[in-house]
Amino acid sequence: MHIREGAGPPPPRHWPPVIRRRPPGESLPLWQAVPGRTLSFILRSGLQAAETHWTGERTVPCVGEGCGLCALQNPRWKGYLGAWSLQEIPGPRGPLPKGRCLVEVTGVARLNCPRLGLPGDALAGRRLSIFRRDLRRNAQVACRIFDDEPPPLPDKRPVDPRQGLMRLWTIGDGKVSPATLTELFDLWQQIPIEE
């Protein structure tokens, strides 16, 4: 490699800057639909949209312009809701407990359930179920919102999906800065949903 004199300092190794310290706030377990089981939640927020990539291990945010993962795959729409989990199950990274959590829904699930687009105060307190339409791991995700009286919970505080995603997506190599993610949250809410 030839380095031209006076070419200035090399570009930073990581961009956006790598955040090593977790932002303040609570860590919320992330629930996704599982095959062969219906999962139930009490909603605690409206829906936060996100453009994402699947790395083969986890879902990560698409940072838009300059996103390295966009060269490998198109970004996928995902929706995130703050909720209270009514069940506990084993998860790939330890048990997923009852209590405050994030719930992920797919674009298809969102399109088939228009009520998911209602504002947070219309959704909070409603019961949500999510499930896969057959037993395949990648089977289509569907959800339902119920109008029955939900069971009483010990904690009725809202659960902010942005705060939960901030904790998931802003620490370590290849992750985004809180400032960038805050901008992306607003942009993502504007984009049309694709299946």
Residues in contact with Zn ion by CB under 5 A are: 62, 67, 69-70, 75
42 vs 62 by CB, closer to Zn ion:
62
- Is the peptide bond preceding residue 16 cis, with omega within 30 degrees of 0? yes
Q: State which residue, 87 or 189, has the beta carbon closest to Zn ion.
A: 189
- Strand 59-61 to strand 141-146: parallel, antiparallel, or no bridges (unpaired)? unpaired
Closer CB to Zn ion, 158 or 183, in the complex? 183
Which of residues 55 and 87 has its CB atom nearest to Zn ion in the complex?
A: 55
Tokens encoding 51: 């453009």
Give the DSSP letter of residue 142. E
CB of 62 to Zn ion, least distance (A): 3
| Least distance in angstroms from the C-beta of 73 to Zn ion | 8
Question: Tokens representing 93?
Answer: 């990274």
Q: How far is the CB of 68 from Zn ion (least distance, A)?
A: 7
Q: Least distance in Å: CB of 96 to Zn ion? A: 27
Strands (E), 39-147: 39-54, 59-61, 76-85, 99-106, 127-132, 141-146
Which of 16, 19, 22 is CA-nearest to residue 68?
A: 16
- CB distance 61 to 181 below 8 Å: yes
- Minimum distance from CB of 69 to Zn ion (Å)? 5
Cβ proximity to Zn ion: between 67 and 86 the closer is 67
Residue with tokens 């959590």: 101
